[in-house]
A = this chain, B = another copy of it.
Amino acid sequence: MAETKKSNLQLVAAKAGVSVSSVSRVLNGGSASEELARKVREAADELGYVPHASARTMRTGRTDQITLAVADVGNPVYVQMMRTVTGIVAKAGYRLVVSSTGADPQSQIDLVTSLNRGYADGLLMSPLRITEDLVEAMRSSRLPIVVIGTLPADVALDNVRADSATGIGLAVEHLVAQGRRRIALVNGPVDTVPGSARLAGYLSAIERFGLATSAELQVTASAFTYKAGRKATAALLGQASPDAIIGANDLLGVAALKELAAAGRRVPGDVAVVGMDDTDAAELATPSLTSVDLGSAKRAKAAAKLLIRRIADPGAPVSRIVIPPALSVRESTGGQA
């Protein structure tokens, strides 16, 4: 069996009685005679030779790695993205490494900086909060970056975004069709990209359908998490009597579901609930959660392809892709299981 001791091209070359460049050629698919190739492979095998990634990177400038940066590995929407991206990048010959930055913009800036040290050939990132500094860091990065999520219009970076506004419109339309009038929003922090987009979408949809809203019908969770959602929904129920609740993501939607149950309200009888992202969490919830599919899998796929193209062709024109939303109706708004 291979020993996997410290070994290098020189040792292999010595053992095989050939030159280092011949070893390199054989191992990288260059042309060589049968005889030489055999000797090289034999020696390499016997020594358990594994090439040194850093040395290769230093020479070639490539790492064959792509980094996916997400704010919270616990958010099922990122899980979907990871699953999708893994396949795409692997097919293109890259290994995917996942990096969990927090919600903090500074740690995201640190990540961009850090990747400029040459840890990866490209970065897929879905920033929760976009600050001037982060934009500046991404802009001045020498590493190709594709942003998943909305970006200021003047930033010339490839990006793939969802259409939250239309998505929330779908949810409101669906709720209105069922006679709901007092539609509440359990949002995440409004200083985040999705938080602000979803609030704007909600307000615009409410107006478009001629409904009324109020400060009491809008609550903001401290984070896009289940726990924060429970708290926010509890506050909501203490100050208003909605007949429908839209959670700004599935975790917040599930939290609303649970809080309503704890408060003895029936879903969808008394209150209908809609989540966003259409993740596994929506399917697992009881009652199952109607959710706005913001195309996270499609977004991830498109972003990965964009990044791969950008790495291959740094001069390509900047692409902006918008993925249209869809509604997955489930039990929490009267749909079938």
Contact = CB atoms under 8 A, between A and B. Distances in A.
Interface of A: 1-6, 48, 50-55, 57-58, 63, 65, 73-74, 76, 79, 82-83, 86, 95-100, 113-114, 116-119, 136, 140-142, 226, 254, 257-258, 261-262, 280-281, 283-287, 337
Contact of A55 (B50, B58, B74): B58
Nearest to A226: B284
Question: How many copies, total?
Answer: 2
Nearest to A258: B286
A100 B98 CA distance: 8
A137 to B, nearest CB: 8
15 contacts: A4-B116, A4-B140, A4-B141, A50-B113, A50-B116, A54-B54, A54-B118, A55-B58, A65-B119, A74-B76, A74-B280, A257-B286, A258-B286, A284-B285, A285-B286
B286 A140 contact: no
A99 to B, nearest CB: 6
Given A98-B97, A98-B100, A261-B286, A73 B74 contact: no
The interface residues of chain A, by DSSP majority, are classed as mixed
Closest 3 CB pairs of A and B: A286-B286, A54-B54, A53-B117
A236 to B, nearest CB: 19
A65 B95 CA distance: 15
Contacts of A96: 99-100
A226 to B, nearest CB: 6
Contacts of A254: 284
